[in-house]
């Protein structure tokens, strides 16, 4: 790739707006205490909001006016198989992380055996479910099909464990969900500037997450305990697969029991459909 291509106007617009956004967030948050002490809390937040708005305005202006479909093109015709696979992996992980935010999806009916009917009905009709569909009807003549709420609002988080669910993947699941959605989408477009633009949110997650961790370790704006720091990571899956949380197989088993599986399945299916629709 030539220097002229890297420094072309579409490429500068593709990376420049995001770089401005990263830089102003980094500088203002790093100097937060100094700025508030010298200029006041209101002035700090006005400046923060103004600069962030300006940065994002330049990001979207650049995309729609300078970047979208701009040359050079990396391929012509169908999306290469490798790009489809990379896109599917990133989108599945990004959507999978986002899918864990809503309540747990569950099949709205279940079959209860006669021996465990009373016990299973009690479990299936949690307080939150009762508020939606009402209490379960009394059991007559043993088991059978029972209707339950399609959403499970109960929180099964294990408070005895230092990490749980999405925390095992990353300390910043929201940032990385956003970043991976952009990165996954970038593999499906032929335009190099457009691909760079779509991939930049992953840099926001990487740099922004690392800087947040650095500030919290110093007690600036939050806390990051040594125990939690050791068993989690900013980069997705790094702590899980490096053994920081224990035996990898055991960790994966624990993780599978902590997530909302049907939510994740819907996310992976959506990622697959998106790649098939855009990757032809």
pLDDT tens sequence across 52-74: 999 999 999 999 999 999 999 99
pLDDT for position 109: 76
What pTM was computed for the model?
A: 0.83
The pLDDT, as a whole number, for residue 144 is: 79
d(CA 280, CA 275): 8
Question: What's the pLDDT tens digit per position in 11-44?
Answer: 999 999 999 999 999 999 999 999 999 999 999 9
**Residue found by looking up tokens 């994002």 in the block:** 56
Query: For the purposes of burial, counting CB atoms within 10 Å of the CB of 105, is it exposed (0-12), middle (13-18) or buried (19 or more)?
Result: middle
| Contact present, 279 and 77 (Cβ < 8 Å) | no
Q: Is the pLDDT of residue 120 over 50?
A: no
CB–CB of 112/144 below 8 Å? yes
State pLDDT tens for residues 250-271: 999 999 999 999 999 999 999 9
Q: Which helix (H) or strand (E) holds 270?
A: helix 261-278
Task: Please give the Cα distance from 54 to 266 (Å, whole number).
Answer: 36
User: What Cα–Cα distance (Å) separates residue 199 from each residue in 42, 113, 163, 180?
Assistant: 33, 51, 28, 8
pLDDT confidence of residue 124: 43
Confidence of residue 158 (pLDDT cuts 50, 70, 90): low
* CB environment 252-280: b (16+ within 10 A), e (fewer): eebbeebbbeebbeebbeebeebbeeebe
């Amino acid at each position: 790739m030539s220097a002229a291509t890297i420094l072309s106007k579409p490429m500068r617009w593709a990376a420049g707006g995001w770089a401005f956004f990263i830089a102003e967030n980094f500088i203002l948050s790093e100097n937060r205490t100094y700025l508030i002490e010298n200029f006041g809390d209101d002035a700090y937040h006005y400046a923060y909001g103004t600069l962030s708005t300006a940065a994002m305005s330049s990001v979207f202006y650049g995309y729609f006016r300078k970047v979208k479909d701009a040359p050079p093109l990396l391929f012509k015709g169908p999306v290469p198989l490798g790009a489809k696979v990379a896109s599917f992996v990133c989108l599945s992980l990004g959507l999978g992380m986002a899918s864990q935010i809503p309540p747990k999806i569950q099949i709205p009916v279940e079959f209860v055996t006669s021996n465990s009917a009373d016990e299973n009905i009690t479990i299936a009709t949690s307080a939150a479910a009762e508020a939606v569909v009402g209490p379960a009807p009394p059991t007559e003549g043993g088991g059978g099909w029972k209707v339950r709420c399609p959403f499970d609002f109960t929180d099964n988080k294990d408070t005895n464990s230092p990490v749980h669910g999405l925390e095992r993947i990353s300390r910043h699941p929201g940032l990385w969900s956003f970043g991976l959605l952009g990165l996954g989408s970038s593999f499906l477009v032929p335009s190099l500037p457009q691909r760079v633009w779509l991939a930049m949110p992953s840099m926001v997650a990487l740099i922004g997450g690392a800087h947040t961790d650095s500030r919290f370790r110093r007690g600036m704006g939050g806390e990051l305990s040594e125990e939690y720091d050791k068993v989690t990571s900013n980069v997705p899956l790094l702590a899980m697969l490096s053994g920081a949380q224990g035996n990898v197989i055991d960790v994966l088993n624990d993780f599978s029991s902590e997530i909302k599986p049907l939510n994740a399945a819907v996310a992976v299916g959506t990622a697959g459909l998106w790649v098939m629709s855009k990757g032809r």
